[in-house]
A and B are shown apart, each in its own frame.
Chain A
Amino acid sequence: MAAITLENLTKVYATGVTALDELSLDVRDGEFVVLVGPSGCGKTTALRMIAGLESITSGTLRFGCEVVNDVSPRQRDVAMVFQNYALYPHLTVAENIGFALANKHVPKADRDRRVREAAEALGLSALLRRKPAHLSGGQRQRVAMGRAIVREPAVFLMDEPLSNLDAKLRVQMRAEVLRVHSQIGAATVYVTHDQVEAMTMGDRVAVLNEGVLQQYGTARELYDQPVNLFVASFIGSPEMNLYEAALDPSGALVLGSQRLKLGQLPPGLAARSGHPVIVGIRPEDLTPGSPGAPGSLAADVRAVQPLGSEVDVLFAIDAPAAGARAQAAAAGEAGADTELFGEAYNGVARLDARAAVRSGTRMTFTVDVARLHFFDQETGRAMTAT
C-alpha cells in the first residue's frame, strides 16, 4: 500500500492561475521520491498541499488509506524541511529540535533524550545551546533536519533543503540526507530544481512542467526513455542534443546535409518514414570516429571544455536545433548556452579526456545509433515508446 497517494491533485489560485493540474502519483512506504522541474512548475505547491499548508482545489490526497484533504497540518503528522530552514531564531538548537515534541506534550526527560539522539545522529551535540544566528549554513540545515527527524514522522517532506548551501557542502549533505532517510525509513517527498540532485537521490523522480506531470519513474527510465522533449532536455547534463531531422524511406536519418544510416527501424518509427521528426543524441553517445564509417557525423568544433576526467566538445552541425536550446537561441536569451565567445554551437559531445580535439577543426563523430531518441515534431512525444 502506498504511504502517500495523490489523485488528480489540482491547485487553482484565486487569481485564476493553475499551479498544479491533475497531479497523480504515489509514494510507497520508505520510498524517496523527488519532484523536479524548473521554477514555477508547481513542485513546491504540490509539496505544500501534501503538508497541508495549501488548500486543495480538487482531487484527493491520501496518507495510507485515509483521505487527508481537510486535515490540518497539525494533525497530519508530517515533518518538513523548508528551503530557508525556518528555524525559530529566539530558541536554542535544542529547543528548535524539541519544539514539536513539546507541542505533543512529550515528557521532558523523554523529550531531552530524543533531542540528544537526533542531535547525535546529525553531529549537532556540541551546538545544542546555540542560537541559529550563531550557526553556519550547513549547521542550520542540520538543525532543520533534526527538527524533522526527532518526530519520527510517517511522511517526510523537503523543499529544496540544499539550495542555500555552497556546491561542495551540497554534495556532502546529499549523502547525509539519504543516510538519514535510510535510518528513519519514512516515505519522503523531496523538491528540487536541480536535475542532478533529483537523479542522484530519488528512488523515483517525477518531472513537472507548468503544473503538469511529465514523467514519473526511476532516474534510469527518465534518462534512457524520456517520454517527451521536455524530459529529454531537462534530464541530463549537458543536455541532450536535439535536432529537426527527417527519416527517409531507405531507413536513413537526414540530419542537415548529412545522412546517418540507421539500419532496421523499429515498427513505430518505420511508419513515420518520410516525415519530419526530432532526433535526440546524448552527449556521451558521440565518440570520435573516422569519416565514411557507418553512423559517422561530421561537425565543426567550436570550443573544447576540459573537465578533468572528460572533455566537452561544443560543436556545430548544419541541422536546425530543437528543444530548449533552440528556444533559448530564438529568444536571444542572455547567457543561453548556445554561444561561446560569439561562436554559435548547437551540440555538445562528452568525450574521453584523452581524445585529441582542437577547436576550429572539423571532426567526425560516431553516433551510437541504437541509443538515438526520436520525438514527434508536433506533439513532442517520444516515438520509440509506441
Chain B
Amino acid sequence: MTVSASTRSGSPAPPAPAAAPPESRRDRRKRERLAERDREIPVEMYGLRRGTVTLLTLLAFLFALFTLIPIGWLLINSTKTQANIFETFGFWFASPFQFFHTFGLLFQNVDGYGTYIQWFGNTALYAVVGGVGATALAAFAGYGLARFRFRGSRVTFYLIIAALLVPITALTVPLYLTYAKAHLINSIWGMVLPSMISPIGVYLMRTYADISVPRDLIDAARIDGAGELRIFFRVALPLMVPGVLTVLLISIVAVWNNYFLPLLIFNDNTKYPLTVGLGLWSDRAVNSGDANLYPMLVMGGLVTIIPLIALFLILQRYWRGGMLLGSIAN
C-alpha cells in the first residue's frame, strides 16, 4: 500500500507516525497469544523420540474423533425425517431437509405431555440457581477451609472429600423418603437445594484459594483495617476468579445433565428438566412409535448441548492465570 502511494505521488513514503495508535483489544489478545507461544517449549525439545510424539498425536486424534462423532451424528440426523433416520446412512445427509421443521416442533406441545421449550426453561432455571448457589457456597467454604484454622477444619474437609466417593444411587431410598417427609416431592426447591451442595466444588475452591490467595495479602488487608467479609470480597475473591468460573461451569453442567435427581422427585411433567423430558419422549418413541418422535429426540438432544458448548467457549478465556503477577516478589 505504501509502495503504490509513493509511486503515485512520486515522493518517498511518508514517515511512520511518531506515536503508535492505541492497541486494540484484538491486537492485544493476539500479542498475548503469540507471547504465550514463545514461552512454550518446542515439542522437539521434550526429549521424546519422534515416533513417540507421532503415536501420542495419533491417540489424541482418535480420542477427538471418539468425542466428536456422536455430535456429528446428532448434527446430521437432526435434518432427517423419522424414516430416513433409520433407513439412510447415519453419517450423511438425506432429503428431505427437515431441520427447521423439526426445530419448530420443539416449541409446540406435540403429544400433550408438555413442550420441549418448557423443559428447556426448567433446566436453565435449575442450572443457573443451583450452579450459582453451589459456586457461591463452594467459594465461601473453600476460602474458609484454605485460610482459617478452626476446631474441626481438618475433619470437615476430610468429610467433604469422603462425600465425593459416595455414589448418588446409593442415596436414592433415603433421599426419597426424606423428600417425602420434607414435602420436597414435585418442588423446585427439591431440585435446587441439593444442587447447591458441591463437594467437588468445595474441594477445588479450597485448592485454588490455597494457591492463589497468599497469606501475606490477607495479613496486609487485616493490618489495613479491613474486616473479614471485606477481605473476602475485595481481596480474596478477585484472585479466585478463574477458580470460581471453573467451579461455576462444573456446577452448571452437573445440574444441566442431572437425570437421576429430577427423575426421583418430579412426577409432574411440567416441572421436568430436559434430561427427564427427553427420557419421557424416548420411552414413548420406543413403546408406541405413533408420533414422529425420533427426529424430535435427535433435535432435542442437539439443542440441549448447545448452551453448554457456548458456556465453555465464553468462559474459557477467563481461565488465563497470571492474576497474581506482581503481587509477590520472588
Mutual binders A and B? yes
Asked whether B327 lies within 8 Å of A73 as measured between CB atoms, the reply is no
Chain B residue at minimal CB-CB distance from A139: B326
Instruction: Indicate which residue in A86, A131, A164 contacts B214 across the interface (CB closer than 8 Å).
Output: A86
Kindly state whether residue A103 has any CB partner on chain B within 8 Å: yes
Asked whether B223 lies within 8 Å of A90 as measured between CB atoms, the reply is no
In the assembled complex, the Cα of A72 lies from the Cα of B224 at a distance in Å of: 12
Kindly state whether residue A230 has any CB partner on chain B within 8 Å: no
Kindly state whether residue A104 has any CB partner on chain B within 8 Å: yes
Which residues of chain B (305-330) have a CB below 8 Å from chain A?
Answer: 322-330
With A53-B219, A80-B220, A82-B216 known as contacts, the answer to whether A89 contacts B324 (CB < 8 A) is: yes
Which residues of chain B (12-58) have a CB below 8 Å from chain A?
Answer: none
With A82-B219, A88-B235, A90-B239 known as contacts, the answer to whether A99 contacts B326 (CB < 8 A) is: no
Interface segment, B78-86, B100-108, B172-180, B225-233?
B225-233
Asked whether B326 lies within 8 Å of A132 as measured between CB atoms, the reply is yes
Could you mark each residue 65-94 of chain A with 1 if its beta carbon is under 8 Å from any beta carbon of chain B, else 0? Answer: 000000011101111101011111110000
Give the residues in chain B near A89, CB-CB below 8 Å. Answer: 239, 323-327
In the assembled complex, the Cα of A376 lies from the Cα of B27 at a distance in Å of: 72
Asked whether B323 lies within 8 Å of A90 as measured between CB atoms, the reply is yes
Give the residues in chain B near A87, CB-CB below 8 Å. Answer: 326-327
Of B230, B234, B238, B323, which is in contact with the most chain A CB atoms at under 10 Å from its CB?
B234
Asked whether B238 lies within 8 Å of A85 as measured between CB atoms, the reply is no
Could you mark each residue 49-73 of chain A with 1 if its beta carbon is under 8 Å from any beta carbon of chain B, else 0? Answer: 0011100000000000000000011
Kindly state whether residue B261 has any CB partner on chain A within 8 Å: no
Kindly state whether residue B217 has any CB partner on chain A within 8 Å: yes
Asked whether A74 lies within 8 Å of B225 as measured between CB atoms, the reply is yes
In the assembled complex, the Cα of A198 lies from the Cα of B155 at a distance in Å of: 45
In the assembled complex, the Cα of A104 lies from the Cα of B328 at a distance in Å of: 25
Of B219, B225, B227, which is in contact with the most chain A CB atoms at under 10 Å from its CB?
B225
| Min CB–CB distance B208 → chain A (angstroms) | 15
Instruction: Indicate which residue in A76, A78, A86 contacts B217 across the interface (CB closer than 8 Å).
Output: A86
**Range of interface residues on chain A?**
20 to 34
Kindly state whether residue A116 has any CB partner on chain B within 8 Å: no
Give the residues in chain A near B214, CB-CB below 8 Å. Answer: 84, 86
Kindly state whether residue A140 has any CB partner on chain B within 8 Å: yes
Kindly state whether residue A135 has any CB partner on chain B within 8 Å: yes
Chain A residue at minimal CB-CB distance from B219: A53
Asked whether B326 lies within 8 Å of A135 as measured between CB atoms, the reply is yes
Asked whether B328 lies within 8 Å of A85 as measured between CB atoms, the reply is yes
Kindly state whether residue B188 has any CB partner on chain A within 8 Å: no
With A86-B216, A86-B217, A88-B217 known as contacts, the answer to whether A147 contacts B224 (CB < 8 A) is: yes
Instruction: Indicate which residue in B223, B230, B234 contacts A79 across the interface (CB closer than 8 Å).
Output: B223
Kindly state whether residue A100 has any CB partner on chain B within 8 Å: yes
Which residues of chain A (273-314) have a CB below 8 Å from chain B?
Answer: none
Which residues of chain A (118-167) have a CB below 8 Å from chain B?
Answer: 131-135, 137, 140, 147, 151, 164
In the assembled complex, the Cα of A320 lies from the Cα of B8 at a distance in Å of: 90
In the assembled complex, the Cα of A251 lies from the Cα of B329 at a distance in Å of: 56
| Min CB–CB distance B150 → chain A (angstroms) | 14
With A131-B326, A133-B326 known as contacts, the answer to whether A86 contacts B220 (CB < 8 A) is: yes
Give the residues in chain A near B234, CB-CB below 8 Å. Answer: 99
Give the residues in chain B near A51, CB-CB below 8 Å. Answer: 219, 223
Could you mark each residue 253-274 of chain B with 1 if its beta carbon is under 8 Å from any beta carbon of chain A, else 0? Answer: 0000000000000000000000
Kindly state whether residue B222 has any CB partner on chain A within 8 Å: yes
With A86-B214, A86-B219 known as contacts, the answer to whether A99 contacts B323 (CB < 8 A) is: no
With A74-B225, A79-B223, A89-B239 known as contacts, the answer to whether A103 contacts B230 (CB < 8 A) is: yes
In the assembled complex, the Cα of A132 lies from the Cα of B325 at a distance in Å of: 8
Instruction: Indicate which residue in B230, B325, B330 contacts A133 across the interface (CB closer than 8 Å).
Output: B325
Kindly state whether residue B302 has any CB partner on chain A within 8 Å: no
Which residues of chain B (195-225) have a CB below 8 Å from chain A?
Answer: 214, 216-217, 219-225
Asked whether A90 lies within 8 Å of B216 as measured between CB atoms, the reply is no
Sample of 4 more A-B contacts, CB < 8 Å, known A85-B328, A89-B327, A133-B327? A73-B219, A88-B217, A90-B323, A103-B226
**Listed A/B pairs (6) with beta-carbon separation below 8 Å:** A52-B222, A53-B223, A72-B222, A80-B219, A90-B238, A133-B322
Q: 3 closest Cβ contacts across the A-B interface?
A: A133-B326, A132-B326, A89-B327
